[in-house]
């Protein structure tokens, strides 16, 4: 699929994205390499953001759906895998010369940075993970939805993707939008004790595809998603 066709396909589907705008294409430079990118705004008060289409994405591209994380993406935190997942995804997209990044404004699993910080503090006080911290704060453990992202990917004319994720909810959202999903798990190693615990908490609470860490594991084995499966 050529770049101009991507734009045309997306423009023809803008009915689901009132107020959406398009920017590009232009050259993007990273790690000494260049790649062409087109930017699509995804306006939504809860789960909006932007979608970046790199290169000529073809019919079975790499796709990363990523929730914003200031600590991980910008500050290089060792306590979560967000920054490493984003960097790994971009490395793979650049190596292939094409792909899609959907970047969503869903800081703190949709709760926002201030609530995320409160969750960290409660976790330190009671020795619990951020999922249990959110429950103590009266929050949903994860308030994100991926229907906006799924519709955006589908609006590019894509019916099959290689999804860079450990998160079964993202796979399910794309599948429900009529997109065939080939999951590509991202194996990340974190250095800090909190980071190691967080990876296992995501595996246990949200069924992410993350290898068991015997130094942290509470006995539950890892799980995964496949089309048609429901939890």
Over residues 79-134, the pLDDT tens digits come to 999 999 999 999 999 999 999 999 999 999 999 999 999 999 999 999 999 999 99
133 is a domain residue: no
| Domain CATH for 12 | 3.40.50.10990
Q: Determine the pLDDT at residue 176.
A: 96
124 is a domain residue: no
pTM across the whole model:
0.85
11 is a domain residue: yes
Parent domain of 197: 3-106+144-206
Q: What percent of the chain has pLDDT over 70?
A: 82
67 is a domain residue: yes
| CA distances, 74 to each of 10, 11, 193 (Å) | 29, 31, 20
Residues with a catalytic annotation lie at: 142, 144
Q: Determine the pLDDT at residue 204.
A: 81
42 is a domain residue: yes
What pLDDT digit, counting tens, does each position of 146-161 carry? 999 999 999 999 999 9
On the CB side of 3, CA atoms within 13 Å amount to 18
Confidence bin at 211 (pLDDT 50/70/90): low
CB atoms within 10 A of CB 223: 15
| CA dist., res. 153 & res. 179, Å (int) | 9
13 is a domain residue: yes
Question: Across the beta sheet with 49-54, what order do the strands follow?
Answer: 22-30, 33-42, 49-54, 99-104, 62-67, 160-164, 180-184
- Give the H or E element holding residue 147: helix 147-155
State the total domains in the chain. 1
């Amino acid at each position: 699929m050529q770049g101009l066709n991507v734009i045309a396909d997306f423009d023809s589907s803008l009915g689901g994205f009132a107020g959406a705008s398009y920017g590009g294409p232009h050259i993007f430079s990273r790690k000494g390499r260049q790649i062409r990118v087109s930017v699509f705004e995804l306006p939504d008060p809860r789960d909006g953001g932007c979608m970046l289409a790199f290169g000529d994405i073809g019919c079975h591209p790499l796709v990363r759906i990523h929730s914003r994380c200031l600590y991980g993406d910008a500050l290089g935190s060792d306590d979560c895998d967000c920054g490493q997942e984003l960097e790994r995804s971009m490395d793979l997209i650049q190596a292939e010369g094409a792909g899609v990044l959907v970047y969503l404004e869903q800081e703190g699993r949709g709760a926002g940075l201030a609530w995320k910080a409160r969750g960290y503090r409660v976790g330190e006080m009671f020795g619990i993970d951020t999922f249990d911290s959110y429950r103590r704060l009266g929050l949903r453990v994860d308030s994100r939805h991926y229907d906006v992202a799924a519709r955006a990917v589908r609006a590019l004319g894509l019916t099959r993707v290689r999804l860079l994720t450990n998160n079964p909810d993202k796979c399910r959202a794309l599948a429900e939008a009529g997109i065939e999903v080939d999951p590509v798990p991202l194996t990340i190693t974190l250095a800090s004790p909190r980071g190691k615990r967080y990876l296992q908490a995501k595996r246990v609470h949200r069924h992410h595809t993350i290898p068991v860490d015997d130094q942290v594991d509470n006995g539950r084995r890892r799980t995964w998603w496949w089309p048609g499966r429901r939890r």
